[in-house]
Amino acid sequence: MAEFSIDRFVDRYAARAAGMTASEVRALFAVASRPEVVSLAGGMPYVRALPGADVMEVARTVLAEHGDVALQYGGGQGSPGLRERLVMLMAAEGIVADPEDVVVATGAQQALDLLGKLFIDPGDVVAVEAPAYVGALTAFGAYQPRFLPIEIDDDGMLVDELEQALVRGERPKFVYTVPNFGNPTGVTMSAERRQHLVALCREASIPIVEDNPYGLLRFEGEPEACLRSLDPENVIYLGTVSKTFSPGVRVGWALAEQSVVQPLVLAKESADLCSSNLTMLMTEHWFSNDERWRGTLVGFVDTYRSRRDVMLEALDEHLGVDATWTRPRGGFYVWVTVPAWLDTKALLAAAVERRVAYVPGTAFYPDGRGANQMRLAFCYPTEDRIRDGIERLGSLVHDETELYRSLQG
């Protein structure tokens, strides 16, 4: 019934609501969540790797010892104790910060939305990587910008391309980037590109929004300097505990200059008054035990590294002749490019029928590109399931290739 109901409010919505469309592949994802389907689609952290008894103890302590505060409203900027912990977490990535410059948000996702609200008027230009994190495209998209897509390669954003766009007269309100183990590509921006981006944006007075959920999930190699540490005044930094602790607590944050912090807190208060005191306290307690959070992080990194290895091996074995892909040194994702004539969105139904799912590449571009690309996440399924999933995907791509060749004669 509901499918055919008429929307009584159809002429009442604001213009921006038109941009809030459900993904065309949403219905398929409901099917993809069936247990027989290996989903390489969602970027869900493997929370089973958390020590359950420790989490339980933290929750119990918070309620037993701080119940009056935990169950109450809090301040819009987030509790001072948690902000101090977050400063310590950022120090682990080489960022020097003051708790006064931190605004806690309901996940980094809310921080993206609040930044959109603060900075974007309809028609404003926002520079994004191509492909970009789909959640940022939807969060910013609600404020009706024009996206300026900047290509990436194995060394991250092509900063030269951004520079040329500025020479052409483009004036983005800000540049959004995920420089470490990016979503969806897994690619990391090189040191040289970081220096170039920071210098270019400083010169042009264009703020950078650096979104860094995956920086601590490094499998090998040395970390590159965060953009924020290269230019603290011009970079608004976003962090989250979703990948190092739990996405269920919904704790993310923005680190910015005081001039941005103040309107950001007002925007935060008008969105939801404050983040949850209960989960802020749990997060503060979790990260106050150095040995525990670092030990848990090592467990996460080991799990994801093994899963990455299994996925790359399986790709070599089953898609080697038909596709190319990125080789991430951390994070959750591999980005696969198949032959130009294959449409990954059209192919998804057949993939789900063969019990494997992925996210089609078009989801990550603001301009409809990416039809022959897909994002594979190795974070959630077990190694055996990743192997099975890639084998199924390989046989599908192989069969489609045979069919295409036979039709071409």
Between CA 161 and CA 335 the distance in angstroms is 21
The order of strands in the sheet holding 102-106 is 102-106, 251-255, 235-240, 208-211, 174-177, 125-130, 146-153, 156-157
Q: How many residues make up the chain in this entry?
A: 409
Nearer to ligand PLP (CB atom), residue 235 or residue 314: 235
Nearer to ligand PLP (CB atom), residue 182 or residue 394: 182
Residue 284: C-alpha distances to residues 82, 94, 123, 280 (Å): 5, 20, 40, 6
Indicate the DSSP class of residue 223: P
Neighbours of 268 (CB within 10 A): 26
State which residue has the least CB distance to ligand PLP: 107
Nearer to ligand PLP (CB atom), residue 178 or residue 198: 178
Taking the complex as a whole, how short is the minimal distance between the CB of residue 211 and ligand PLP, in angstroms? 5
Contact residues toward ligand PLP (CB under 6 A) are: 43, 107-109, 133, 135, 178, 183, 211, 213, 240, 242, 247, 252
Alpha helix positions (H), 225-289 = 227-230, 258-272, 277-286
Nearer to ligand PLP (CB atom), residue 213 or residue 360: 213
Taking the complex as a whole, how short is the minimal distance between the CB of residue 174 and ligand PLP, in angstroms? 15
Q: What's the alpha-carbon Rg for the chain, to the nearest Å?
A: 22
Taking the complex as a whole, how short is the minimal distance between the CB of residue 40 and ligand PLP, in angstroms? 15
Taking the complex as a whole, how short is the minimal distance between the CB of residue 239 and ligand PLP, in angstroms? 8
Taking the complex as a whole, how short is the minimal distance between the CB of residue 397 and ligand PLP, in angstroms? 26
Between CA 314 and CA 317 the distance in angstroms is 5
Taking the complex as a whole, how short is the minimal distance between the CB of residue 136 and ligand PLP, in angstroms? 6
Nearer to ligand PLP (CB atom), residue 334 or residue 397: 334
The order of strands in the sheet holding 324-325 is 324-325, 333-337, 373-377, 359-360
Nearer to ligand PLP (CB atom), residue 106 or residue 234: 106
Nearer to ligand PLP (CB atom), residue 25 or residue 112: 112
Nearer to ligand PLP (CB atom), residue 43 or residue 149: 43
Taking the complex as a whole, how short is the minimal distance between the CB of residue 274 and ligand PLP, in angstroms? 16
DSSP E strand boundaries for 33-181: 38-39, 102-106, 125-130, 146-153, 156-157, 174-177
Query: What DSSP string runs through 275-310?
Result: --HHHHHHHHHHTT-HHHHHHHHHHHHHHHHHHHHH
Taking the complex as a whole, how short is the minimal distance between the CB of residue 137 and ligand PLP, in angstroms? 11
Looking up tokens 């950001």 gives 264
Nearer to ligand PLP (CB atom), residue 159 or residue 209: 209
Q: Which of 96, 88, 138, 133 is nearest to 113 (CA)?
A: 138
Neighbours of 18 (CB within 10 A): 9
User: What are the φ and ψ backbone dihedral angles of 155, each rounded to 5 degrees?
Assistant: -105, 20
Partners of 376 in the β-ladder = 334
